[in-house]
Amino acid sequence: VCGANGDAIYHDLSDHLFGVEGEWSMRQCSDDQCGLLWLDPMPAPESLGALYKHYYTHNYDKPSTASPLFAIYEHLRSAYCSAEYGYSDNRWSGIAIRYLARLLPGVRTQWDLSVFCLSARPGSQVLDVGCGSGRMMRRLAELGWQVHGLDFDPKAVEAARNLGLEVRLGTLEEQNYEEGSFDAIIMNHVIEHVPDPLELLKSCKRVLKPGGKLVLATPNAWSWGHQRYGRSWRGLEPPRHLHIFTPQAIRKLAVGAGFNRLQVSTTVANAHSVLWSSRQLSRNGKLSPYVFSFRSGAWGTVMQVAEWVKLRSYPNSGEEVLFQARA
């Protein structure tokens, strides 16, 4: 990103999640103002598919709507998005819910990310790069967006197509989308997985309409969780996370790709599951996909609130970087 060299900060990392064989180091940029982390050795592009044989986006898990608590949460979330982003699929609206959301640590950004910070623009074109099994596409389609998806994982593409969604297989660079095709592009935890993030952002810029919006979320190398758990931090995820950004590194990369009006922040959205998984790995040497239980939920909530408090004094310490910009 900045051209500086990096030193290995972790050695002998292995895949604790899906058991891909090998050992990797993680390097960190020597420039404190950049702080990018990257995997060493970098997998060859042709071997990337083998890292995703057992990935968790292969199935669309329908959210359980049976629980009354979940139903209340969904009503509140939907009311907030209606009010904040101009969607009107719910008759609740207004100032109260927006202020309520501000009082709940991390909940507001979680809700912002549930529509990927996209204001209502019925009939506009959005591209979900790295759409996985299509959960976000489905929600945005219900809210009036014309949704298009893309993923390099054939099983994820199949799962999304089974929902009736229009999804292509491959990388953005390989597609022949015309210049200025989309009003918005979203990338949820994607940029850390690609071999050439700069090319990816340049391609986004090319296929966005002038002034079109790019929104992405990615793990934050400066997060409290990384400081606390080091090599056990969930965000490292070797060998699938090839680059792990800081707010500064993503800013620099996006400027290089020609984006304007950058908004970069860090958030505690999903900190509960990231911190819980990191704790499991540091204690047991094992990592499994996050499962909600009373224990993980209660512990995670307390930790997410703690991180939210920390964020008041250290705004760069959230678990995720949330990045928004205009083409």
Interaction site with Zn ion (CB under 5 A): 1-2, 4, 29, 31, 34, 36
Residue with Cβ nearer Zn ion (109 or 246)? 246
Residue with Cβ nearer Zn ion (3 or 19)? 3
For residue 162, how many other CB atoms are within 10 A of its CB?
13
Residue with Cβ nearer Zn ion (36 or 274)? 36
Q: How far is the CB of 111 from Zn ion (least distance, A)?
A: 33
Tell me how far apart the alpha carbons of residues 238 and 15 are, in angstroms, rounded to a whole number: 6
Residue with Cβ nearer Zn ion (31 or 74)? 31
Q: How far is the CB of 191 from Zn ion (least distance, A)?
A: 15
Q: How far is the CB of 254 from Zn ion (least distance, A)?
A: 14
Question: Taking the CA of residue 85 as centre, how many other CA atoms within 13 Å lie in the half-sphere pointing to its CB?
Answer: 25
The SS3 call for residue 74 is helix
**CB 3, CB 223: distance < 8 Å:** no
User: Distances in Å between the alpha carbon of 140 and those of 85, 120, 127, 130, 291?
Assistant: 12, 9, 10, 15, 25
Residue with Cβ nearer Zn ion (9 or 298)? 9
Residue with Cβ nearer Zn ion (79 or 250)? 250
Q: How far is the CB of 57 from Zn ion (least distance, A)?
A: 29
**CB 47, CB 21: distance < 8 Å:** no
- Walk across the sheet containing 260-267 and list its strands: 167-169, 146-151, 125-129, 182-188, 208-219, 320-326, 260-267
Strands 146-151 and 125-129: parallel
CA angle 102, 104, 110 (to 5 degrees): 85
Q: How far is the CB of 288 from Zn ion (least distance, A)?
A: 33
Residue with Cβ nearer Zn ion (163 or 262)? 262
Q: How far is the CB of 28 from Zn ion (least distance, A)?
A: 9
Q: How far is the CB of 210 from Zn ion (least distance, A)?
A: 29
Instruction: Identify the bridge partners of residue 213 per DSSP, sorted by sequence position.
Output: 184, 326
Q: Give how far the C-alpha of residue 69 lies from the chain's centroid of Cα atoms, to the nearest Å.
A: 25
